[in-house]
């Protein structure tokens, strides 16, 4: 590879994966979207089509640009279809063992000079890179959710990540029209190192009866000028994802201030994961969010 990224593979067609595919295709990259469940790829394409259509209706992009972007996204029904890509981004669930299994299947089919990245929001880049055949060409590229809307991308170098890989990743993010910030490879990086303990503290505030769901979210929206309350935001992120990041912080930094709130654990055990399961700190089943506490 000449250091120029032209084609991007994405493993995982969920909320993050379809958002990454959207912005890559809209920025002129050829995209291969892979998922172990072919139905998820088709669902992702429908979401991307709807989001691009919404952008066209608002005048953010033209109708021709919408159609061109959609045409650049190709379903990768087999992992081997990603072998043509210059960069492959893993955007699967925030589970370390799942990521290892993906890299084991992916590395043998990649071009020798292809770059490999992970969209992990908290897991050690150095540790993930060490499980691959290309730690020098491995980097963390952490997009914020929702990807088409959020401007920031965290770039995280593992201990083995070489300079050409980092420079290629920076150019890639710039071409997406986003701003890159460099984080050292510590648990949860920058954004989630600060954000998730705040959310966890909001859950403790609820757990200890200091305030209700509604009063906590209203207090932070109007008292701290946050666009979204912390419990509403937790539901948007996914309570299982919030819990997994807090567990990474707690285990990785061995500090009791990062202990996940027992109430957060309880909600996840109940399968109340937020918006995606229709119940979390709010109940979404009626179409109007109703606080559950």
- Give the pLDDT confidence score for residue 197 in this predicted structure: 98
Stretches where the chain sits below pLDDT 50 are none
- Give the pLDDT confidence score for residue 164 in this predicted structure: 96
Q: Do domains 7-183 and 191-288 have the same CATH topology?
A: no
- Give the pLDDT confidence score for residue 124 in this predicted structure: 95
Which residues are known to be catalytic? 121, 142, 154, 192
- Tokens 């290892």 -> residue: 100
- Give the pLDDT confidence score for residue 2 in this predicted structure: 63
- Give the pLDDT confidence score for residue 48 in this predicted structure: 96
User: Across all residues in the chain, what is the average pLDDT?
Assistant: 96
- Give the pLDDT confidence score for residue 1 in this predicted structure: 53
Q: Would you give the distance in Å from CA 269 to the centre of its chain?
A: 22
Which CATH number is 7-183 given? 3.40.50.720
User: What digits encode the pLDDT tens for the residues 99-145?
Assistant: 999 999 999 999 999 999 999 999 999 999 999 999 999 999 999 99
- Give the pLDDT confidence score for residue 238 in this predicted structure: 94
d(CA 35, CA 78): 9
> Angle, to 10 degrees, between the axis of helix 230-237 and the axis of helix 191-207?
120
Q: List the domain boundaries for the chain.
A: 7-183, 191-288
Neighbour order of strands in the sheet with 87-90: 73-76, 30-34, 7-11, 87-90, 115-118, 138-143, 152-157, 179-183
Which CATH number is 191-288 given? 1.10.1040.10
């Amino acid at each position: 590879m000449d250091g120029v990224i032209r084609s991007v593979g994405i493993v995982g067609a969920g909320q993050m994966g379809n958002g990454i595919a959207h912005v890559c295709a809209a920025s002129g990259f050829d995209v291969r979207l892979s998922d172990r469940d072919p139905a998820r790829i088709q669902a992702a394409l429908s979401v991307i089509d709807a989001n691009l259509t919404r952008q066209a209706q608002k005048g953010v992009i033209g109708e021709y640009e919408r159609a061109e972007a959609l045409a650049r996204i190709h379903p990768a029904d087999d992992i081997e279809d990603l072998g043509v890509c210059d960069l492959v981004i893993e955007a699967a669930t925030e589970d370390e063992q799942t990521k290892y299994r993906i890299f084991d299947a992916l590395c043998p089919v990649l071009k020798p000079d292809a770059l490999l990245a992970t969209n992990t929001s908290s897991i050690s880049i150095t540790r993930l890179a060490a499980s691959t055949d290309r730690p020098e060409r491995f980097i963390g590229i952490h997009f914020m959710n929702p990807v088409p809307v959020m401007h920031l991308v965290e770039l995280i170098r593992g201990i083995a990540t070489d300079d050409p890989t980092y420079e290629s990743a920076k150019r890639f993010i710039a071409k997406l029209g986003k701003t890159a910030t460099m984080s050292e490879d510590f648990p949860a990086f920058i954004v989630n190192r600060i954000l998730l303990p705040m959310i966890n503290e909001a859950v403790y505030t609820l757990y200890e009866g200091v305030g209700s769901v509604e009063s906590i979210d209203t207090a932070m929206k109007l008292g701290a000028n946050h666009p979204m309350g912390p419990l509403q935001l937790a539901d948007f992120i996914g309570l299982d994802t919030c819990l997994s990041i807090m567990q990474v912080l707690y285990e990785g930094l061995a500090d009791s201030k990062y202990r996940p709130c027992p109430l957060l654990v309880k909600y996840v055990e109940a399968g109340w994961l937020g918006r995606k399961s229709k119940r979390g700190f709010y109940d979404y089943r009626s179409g109007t969010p109703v606080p559950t506490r």
